[in-house]
Amino acid sequence: MILMANIKNKIILSLAFAAVVYIALSFWGNFGDLREVLANFKWYYFPLLLALAFINYLVRFAKWHYYLKILKIKIPKMESFKIFLAGFSMSITPGKLGEVLKSYLLKDKYQIPISKTAMIVFADRLTDMVALIVISAVGVFGYNFGKTYIWIISAVVLLIIILIEFRPVAERILRALTKLKFLKKRAQKLENLYESSYEMIRPKHLAVASLISIFAWSCECLGLYLTFIAFDFKTGVLAAFFIYAFSTILGAITMLPGGLGATEGTMTGLTILLGIPKGISAAATIIIRAATLWFAVIIGVVALLIVNKGNDTHRNISPIGHRR
């Protein structure tokens, strides 16, 4: 109950922040013009945008289950799917790190230590970043925009991978951390976190997970391209892929909840730079974010309620079937 209350509070705060962002975007795009532009949107495209987003979720679930397999964690696939989807309720937390909720749910239902699975969220974010860098790289060098950002982010990602995979250095850092007074008692948990991340970032696993992520995120990038088409505004597929991927990267590194504000601002700005009118740019941003981020949050909340209800039933029934 405390968990659900905390999640509810986070969602309410994020919704309030989102309202401010979208109201500001509406006024900036001229509310009257924006309303007219939205009325001209071919809404029969919207289910297709949702379908592409859901394909993204299905593909990323394959990555989640792949990571569980690497860590030798065996749970029923349908239960794994529900827990995975429940994590989307935390998509509007900074960097989506609130998705560590999945680790809590695994511990609650299967008694799997959080320290063993928490790094799945980290590995997931890392390989998502690799995928988005690869997707946006074509646009970055093709349109000569954002090269500095991509080089810096790529260097940071590469450094993180090297630090994790070069065990002598990683273990030295780990030993130094465990000497700190407030971390001494958590030495075993820190070791579990490191061992999990080390296994998941092995070259083979990193390559497989990154390829999965490239396909998954390409679906949502394609969604932005179709959004432009639905406004009768044709632009290059690569341009749409670049805009979506680059905007998502900048939104992630700001550590704002769900990248709110940063992602929308970057996406709208880049769209305008391609010569798309301001009203269409703002409307396209609002629609694609509704079909991706907010669609994920809705699915996540529903899945969390289902998982939580199942866990409550499990707790209230004894092994021989009588109420406790």
pLDDT at site 5: 55
Residue 94's beta-bridge partner residues? 257
pLDDT at site 106: 92
pLDDT at site 316: 44
Lowest mean pLDDT among 51-60, 149-158, 166-175, 307-316: 307-316
pLDDT at site 319: 37
Confidence of residue 324 (pLDDT cuts 50, 70, 90): very low
Confidence of residue 230 (pLDDT cuts 50, 70, 90): very high
pLDDT at site 14: 63
Residue 317's beta-bridge partner residues? 323
Q: What is the mean pLDDT of residues 134-155?
A: 84
Q: What is the mean pLDDT of residues 299-319?
A: 70
Q: How far is CA 200 from CA 103, 118, 192, 287, in A?
A: 16, 12, 12, 35
pTM for the model? 0.86
Question: pLDDT tens digits, residue range 214-226?
Answer: 999 999 999 999 9
**Other CB atoms within 10 Å distance of the CB of residue 302:** 15
Confidence of residue 323 (pLDDT cuts 50, 70, 90): very low
Question: pLDDT tens digits, residue range 265-282?
Answer: 899 999 988 888 888 888
pLDDT at site 317: 35
Confidence of residue 173 (pLDDT cuts 50, 70, 90): confident
Nearest one of 254, 252, 243 to 288, comparing CA atoms: 243
Tell me the average pLDDT of the chain: 84
What percentage of residues in the chain have a pLDDT greater than 90?
A: 45
Domain boundaries, the chain: 52-316
- C-alpha–C-alpha distance, residues 278 and 272, integer Å: 6
3-class SS string, 2-45? HHHHHHHHHHHHHHHHHHHHHHHHHHHCCHHHHHHHHHCCCHHH
Q: What is the mean pLDDT of residues 106-110?
A: 90
pLDDT at 89 over 70: yes
pLDDT at site 177: 76
